[in-house]
Structure 1
Amino acid sequence: MDMGGLQIEQDGQTLRILLSGVWGLPSAAGLDRRIAAIHAGGVRHAVIDTSGLERLDTAGAVLLHRLWRRLAAQGAKVEWPAPRPEYRTLFDYVADSGEGKVIRPPKESGALALVAWVGWLTLFFLREARRFIAFIGRVAESAAKVALQPRRLRLTSMVHHMEEAGLRAIPIVGLLSFLIGVVMAYQGADQLRRFGAEIFVVDLIGISVLRELGVLLTAILIAGRSGSAFTAQIGTMKVNEEIAAMRILGLDPVEILVLPRMFALILTMPLLTFYADIMGLFGGAIMAWSSLNIDLNLFAQRLQDAVSLKTFFVGLVKAPVFAALIGMVGCYEGLRVKQDAASVGRLTTRSVVQSIFLVIVVDALFSIMFSIMGI
């Protein structure tokens, strides 16, 4: 079968275009390039000769119509002498269908587009939740193996990540907690002064910092600092095919990469939360002393009366749960990185957003549960 051909002959002001072979889909790309290169060059008359065509299908008819329009656009009067009836029928069909025009889909109504978007978003969240729950199952399985055989735990790696995620986070956690305490005391004092109840600013600071703000602020900082680092580290290893090499050697990436990081966060988050609580109370005490003349002894006495040990433990018990969520989300997104550097940045951003979102959702669930339990 002869592939489609196109030959151009010029005789004065007449341009003769000879079509031969099969004009169809297999030869469409080459013919389209040749048609795009045709220049009539001021020729007034163009003749398309299809006597040498063996076969013409729809793709060929589209190209023929494109050739016709190109010659006409360049100022030539186009003729097609004695075409075969089936060729002419196919050509007219393509011409009537508006080949070459931009056909825009009908605009959807706003309500229909909103419903479609909500449906897509729901399916996306369900799919992501199923994958993440499956990953939690893998982590739990690996953790059970380590519990049965403690020698499998990568102690050196865990201590290293405790230093990176815990010890090196002390300055930023302490500074921001101190400032949050200052802001809480200042704003609370400004409102309570109107009612002559300045002393209750101690209650405000103690309950809000110990019960909610200390652990929540620490979790958000760790999600942005350590969770993103976990995703970037594991993602870079994925791009460099180090994780594939682990699997070839029979090593479990979850046991080697995920568990040390997650255990490191679980152990260090309560300590960081305790430190954040102390710094938040200290910042509030300094602000109360400077703006309300509440000395440190009076602040400590009022804090002891207003806040029980139960309030402190309500905030502290959330820390390991938040740590496990942040560690698993960071490692999960890192293991999902594709073989390109762009996905490392994209999934690092996603891990931070998801970690903070889950921390706030779980914190709300804790609040509901403690409220039901009367704590």
Structure 2
Amino acid sequence: MARTGSPRLDFRSDTRTVPDARMRAAMAAAEVGDDVYGDDPTVAVLEETVAELLGTEAALLTPTGTMANLLAPLAASGPPGSPAPRLIAGADTHMAFLESDGLRRFGEVELLPVEQRPDGLPDPAALTELLSTGTGRPTVVCLENTSMMRSGNALDAPATRSVAALAHRYGAHLHLDGARLANAAVALGVRPVELAEPADSVAFSLSKGLGAPVGGLLCGSREYVAYARELRGWLGGSMHQAGVVAAPALVALGRLPDLAADHGLAAALASGLETVPGVEVLRPPRPTNMVMARLAGLAPEECAARLAGQGVRVLPLPNGHVRFVTHRAHDMISVREAVRALAAVAATVPAARRTADGDLPGRGHSTTWMEEA
């Protein structure tokens, strides 16, 4: 069996968390029914709790956040059997960048990538152009919060309202991919409902920083969620005794304030990495639990491989950087070890090679934004 190493040094994603003793006890003690028939009491409590958290009429438990995002545009186009919609999403968002094949193949969605601003918002002019050239199909606009490829930047409520107003002006549905909406709320010091309120639907994950082992939720109006529930069954996403999944998710919801600790660790990690010669760290205006760094002279895949040799796991990205994501398994010892590991890797890269790649020899530096691809 392959071993992935210690979660304490695994920075690839906050999905690397594992359920703790409290979550496992909740799973063992969960009261269950049959969610296919709508009578699992623990699932009902979870759905009601998340709907209240986000200020929506209803919520639907899905096995994964990816399924929630697949159901989102399909349910927005109407009941099962309605024409598949157009989906306008930022070119670097999770839905356009990593979920596009599933949306096209299984949902027959017409995906239209749109340019994004440095903060992660879709470019207003480019979005307006796409909205104003409809083909008669229902249109869904996707907004991602936090913005993963913008170093996890948190989008505030006015930003979401601006996109919602533009989408609604053209009769479009605004879907908020809020997989890390809890991180955004904690970083901004607001309630999650304030960030979710402008959207027509919201996908919400509890299996990332909050540490639940599995599951996502799709939230919206009662009618919308009813459509999504039927579609979920078609996709094989309906689960029977799903209370064993909902129970640890309810534990995770009680830990929302704990995300501030992850953000503090990410800030310490960013500062530490900036001390390494040849390292560039991206600094978003509203940081959360992500740090993107580039070591001059090394491609991200090679940098990630060498870090793995030091016992530290990171995710290489196509923008030339590697991604560190802090989570519940990390502490300051993890942060110091990650900085030590990158310093050891940097020491193997000749200074001349770093300088040729545009680095300032002898010291690290930071940039506010990544270069647009």
TM-score range, shorter chain: under 0.3
More strand by share: 2
The structure with more radius of gyration: 1
TM-score normalised to the size of structure 2?
0.20
TM-score normalised to the size of structure 1?
0.20
More helix by share: 1
